[in-house]
């Protein structure tokens, strides 16, 4: 592992109902001792969760366990709408925002004023007062023209005012190291935080991975399929494997881990425990 303690952060989605709120509260309790740098809160495509994201961010800020970092997507949004939301975040004392393009929801065909995340990054920096984080894709964004262009646009996005990148989850540490080295060759030196997707429900992760272009390595797929009737065995295998990948990346000097918790604490804690955190 690298010399200093890695920076840990988590991602939540805004709960839809009382049961979801309870689950989030359990997570907040379970993560209290992890010394998290922040908890980020996702934002639905086209602004579909705007009210709930804002409410969840306000709740986290009020509890004060760790700072809240809202995600904000721009595709299909207006500058006025984004400006208003930024004003509300400023009032809540938010200091960092994860700026994303998002995906245009089905049935919405006008992308609006913002075409790429870089446009939103520049807009937020112009507005002022926020540090901006953004996404990076070790296995190449599924809509990229090609890998070289994807890397080029990532560098352009960072130049627009990004102070840190969070990777899409990826069960192939080599791809993350390759991205780190390629960014360094371009002179892009902002911290590259490893996005980690713990696996508590393999079927769900396999479906999600097919949609977002994350590869499930053959040995992981076959291992999980062999344990299809043994969910506890699947969780053990996944935690061992993902923790080993995290340990390798931390030893390589990657600065932090950002857990996509899906509002479930156990699978994330299974990994941090294996890492001795």
Ligand X SMILES: Cc1cc2nc3c(=O)[nH]c(=O)nc-3n(C[C@H](O)[C@H](O)[C@H](O)COP(=O)(O)OP(=O)(O)OC[C@H]3O[C@@H](n4cnc5c(N)ncnc54)[C@H](O)[C@@H]3O)c2cc1C
- Choose one: 42-50, 183-191, 201-209, 226-234; the region binding ligand X (CB under 6 A): 42-50
Q: Residue for token digits 């009210």?
A: 51
CA separation for the pair 155, 183 (Å, rounded): 7
The residues carrying an active-site annotation are 11
The residue (of 9 and 272) whose beta carbon lies closer to ligand X is: 9
Give yes or no for residue 71 binding ligand X (CB under 6 A).
Answer: yes
Q: Which is nearer to ligand X, 118 or 246 (CB)?
A: 118
CA neighbor of 74 nearest in space, from 103, 38, 97, 32: 103
- Dist CA 89 CA 248 (whole Å): 36
d(CA 27, CA 212): 25
DSSP assignment string, 15-49: -SSHHHHHHHHHHHHHTGGG--SEEEE---GGGTT
List phi, psi (to 5°) of 122: -65, -40
Binding-site member from 43, 66, 171, 202 for ligand X (CB under 6 A): 43
- The only residue of 96, 157, 180, 235 in contact with ligand X, by rule CB under 6 A: 157
With beta carbons less than 8 A apart as the criterion, state whether 177 and 249 touch.
yes
Packed helices 79-91 and 50-63: angle between N→C axes, nearest 10 degrees = 20
Q: Is 100 in the site for ligand X (CB under 6 A)?
A: yes
The verdict on 117 binding ligand X (CB under 6 A) reads yes
Q: Report whether 68 contacts 60 (CB < 8 A).
A: yes
Tokens of 109: 């065909």
38 binding ligand X? (CB under 6 A): no
Using the contact rule CB under 6 A, the part of the chain among 16-24, 59-67, 93-101, 184-192 near ligand X is 93-101
Q: Return the exposure string of 56-80: e unless at least 16 CB atoms fall within 10 Å of the residue's CB, then b.
A: bbbbbbeeeebbbbbbbbbbbbeee
Name which of 97 and 243 has its Cβ closer to ligand X: 97
Instruction: Give 142 or 231: the residue with its C-beta nearer to ligand X.
Output: 142
Q: Which is nearer to ligand X, 117 or 124 (CB)?
A: 117
Q: Which residues pair with 133 in a beta bridge?
A: 98, 164
Nearer to ligand X, 135 or 200 (CB): 135
Of the candidate spans 27-35, 38-46, 221-229, 233-241, the one that interacts with ligand X by CB under 6 A turns out to be 38-46
- Tell which positions 123-152 bind ligand X, by CB under 6 A: 135, 141, 143-144, 149-150
Contacts of 109 (CB under 8 A, 6+ apart): none
CB of 231 to ligand X, least distance (A): 27
Check: CB of residue 191 under 8 Å from CB of residue 256: yes
For residue 48, what are the contacts with CB-CB under 8 A and spacing of at least 6? 105
The single residue among 52, 96, 101, 180 that binds ligand X, judged by CB under 6 A, is 101
Out of 50, 73, 209, 234, point to the residue binding ligand X (CB under 6 A). Answer: 73
Binding track over 192-211 against ligand X, x by CB under 6 A: ---x----------------
Number of chain residues interacting with ligand X (CB under 6 A): 24
The contact set with ligand X (CB under 6 A) reads 42-43, 45, 71, 73, 98, 100-103, 116-118, 135, 141, 143-144, 149-150, 153, 157, 166, 168, 195
């Amino acid at each position: 592992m690298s010399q200093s303690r890695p920076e840990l952060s988590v991602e939540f989605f805004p709960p839809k109902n009382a049961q979801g709120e309870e689950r989030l509260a359990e997570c907040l309790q379970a993560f209290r001792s992890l010394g998290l740098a922040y908890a980020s809160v996702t934002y639905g495509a086209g602004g579909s969760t705007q009210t709930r994201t804002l409410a969840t961010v306000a709740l986290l800020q009020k509890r004060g366990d760790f700072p809240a970092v809202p995600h904000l997507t721009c595709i299909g949004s207006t500058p006025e709408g984004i400006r208003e939301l930024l004003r509300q975040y400023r009032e809540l004392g938010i200091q960092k925002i994860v700026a994303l393009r998002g995906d245009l929801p089905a049935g919405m065909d006008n992308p609006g004023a913002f075409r790429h995340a870089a446009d939103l990054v520049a807009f937020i920096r112009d507005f002022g007062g926020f540090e901006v984080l953004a996404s990076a894709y070790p296995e190449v964004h599924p809509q990229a023209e090609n890998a070289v262009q994807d890397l080029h646009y990532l560098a352009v996005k960072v130049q627009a005012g990004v102070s840190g990148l969070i990777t899409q989850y990826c069960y192939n540490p080599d791809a993350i190291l390759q991205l780190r080295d390629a960014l360094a060759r371009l002179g892009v030196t902002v911290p590259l935080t490893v996005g980690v997707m713990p696996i508590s429900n393999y079927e769900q992760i396999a479906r999600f991975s097919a949609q977002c272009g994350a590869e499930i390595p053959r040995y992981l797929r076959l291992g999980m399929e062999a344990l299809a009737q043994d969910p506890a065995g699947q969780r053990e295998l996944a935690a061992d494997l993902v923790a080993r990948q995290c340990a390798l990346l931390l030893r390589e000097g990657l600065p932090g881990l950002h857990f996509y918790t899906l509002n479930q604490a156990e699978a994330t804690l299974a990994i941090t425990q294996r890492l001795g955190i």
